[in-house]
Amino acid sequence: MIEIKGLNKSFEGGIKAVNELNLTIADNQVFGLIGTNGAGKSTLMRMMSGVLKADSGEIKIDSEYVYENPMVKKQIFFIPDEAYFFQWADANAMRDYYAGIYTDFDSERFDKLTSEFGLKKENKIITYSKGMKKQLSLIMGLCAKTKYLYCDETFDGLDPVMRQAAKSLLAKEIDERDFTPVITSHNLRELEDICEHVGLLHQGGVLLSKDLDDMKLNLQKVQCVFADESRRGDFEKNLDILIHEERGRLHTYTLRGERPQIESIFANEEMVFFENLSLTLEEIFICETEVAGYDVRKLIAG
């Protein structure tokens, strides 16, 4: 488990990158951390890895402080947004380097995955495209067999096929061993089909951190056409309406409440048309943050 309390980090010029940040990341789940560029995601990742020292506050991983703690760091593999490789190294050289650092590094699996991804291990990494470097970084991270894998914008630069392959690998890893990936992104859609818990970072702090299943269970989106429009005002008093959109006689509601409860309320009103709609992760966050007094559309890139 990762426990972060009262974390602060500033840089030269008084730039506050992380501000009184509190966050808990449970084991064996995919945790997504979203926010605009400059929200503090990369700085937080570096502190979670023990690369940067916090000005104040604490970061504990499995009840141990991470900074200047080699034993804890052996359980972490950090993939930064711009992955670093030795100049003129090929994939074989990087494999051998990390195998010397991480005692459980799976070299055989590394060779298998690089082949499946179509990466030529004998070619210099400097000749790889951005997407190929991202693929190689992820493969190294998985083969290091650490408990925690930090991925900073790892899906950025991958084509749709490779992106889906990467997500499948992460999901498979969780099924097979004690494994907790933390993935940052400025794009909600990147995380929608893989993350179980998502936190929204804004101005260096966590604005919202919730389990996706819990959010989905308690939020519903429906469309309807009333048989008698004049009854709508009284009917809406029975609903916890977060968002209401109207196009002619067609009404679209985003509501708080569980589906059976919502369906029961609508079943008691005469409707010309009624339909349940699926909520996207972006719509969920828009609802949750607007209730908290923020406009998430200004905080994230869609």
CB atoms within 10 A of CB 93: 15
Please give the torsion angle defined by the CA atoms of residues 278, 280, 286 and 287, in that order, rounded to the nearest 10 degrees: 30
Q: pTM here?
A: 0.83
295 within 8 A of 289, measured Cβ to Cβ: yes
- Tokens at 154, concatenated: 């790892």
Considering only CA atoms, which of 201, 207, 211, 209 is closest in space to residue 47? 201
Strands (E), 12-63: 15-25, 31-34, 56-61
- pLDDT tens digits, 203-253: 888 888 888 888 778 889 999 999 999 999 999 999 999 889 999 999 999
CB 29 within 8 A of CB 163: no
CATH topology of domain 2-209: Rossmann fold (3.40.50)
Q: Each residue of 150-197: pLDDT tens digit?
A: 999 888 778 888 888 888 899 899 999 999 999 988 777 778 778 889
Contacts of 16 (CB under 8 A, 6+ apart): 8, 9, 10, 203, 204
Q: Are residues 166 and 136 in contact, defined by beta-carbon separation less than 8 angstroms? A: no
The Cα 2–Cα 251 span in angstroms is 43
d(CA 196, CA 180): 11
Joined tokens for residue 236: 């809406």
Query: 254 or 285: whose pLDDT is higher?
Result: 254
For 99-147, write each residue's pLDDT tens digit: 999 999 999 999 999 999 999 999 999 999 988 999 999 999 999 999 9
The answer to whether 271 touches 225, Cβ cutoff 8 Å, is yes
pLDDT for 302 equals 47
Domain boundaries 218-298, corresponding CATH code? 3.30.70
Q: What is the dihedral of CA 192, 197, 201, 206, to 10 degrees?
A: 160
Q: How confident is the model at residue 297 (pLDDT cuts 50, 70, 90)?
A: low
Helices (H), the chain: 41-48, 70-73, 91-101, 107-116, 130-143, 160-176, 188-191, 212-217, 232-236, 259-267, 281-291
Domain boundaries, the chain: 2-209, 218-298
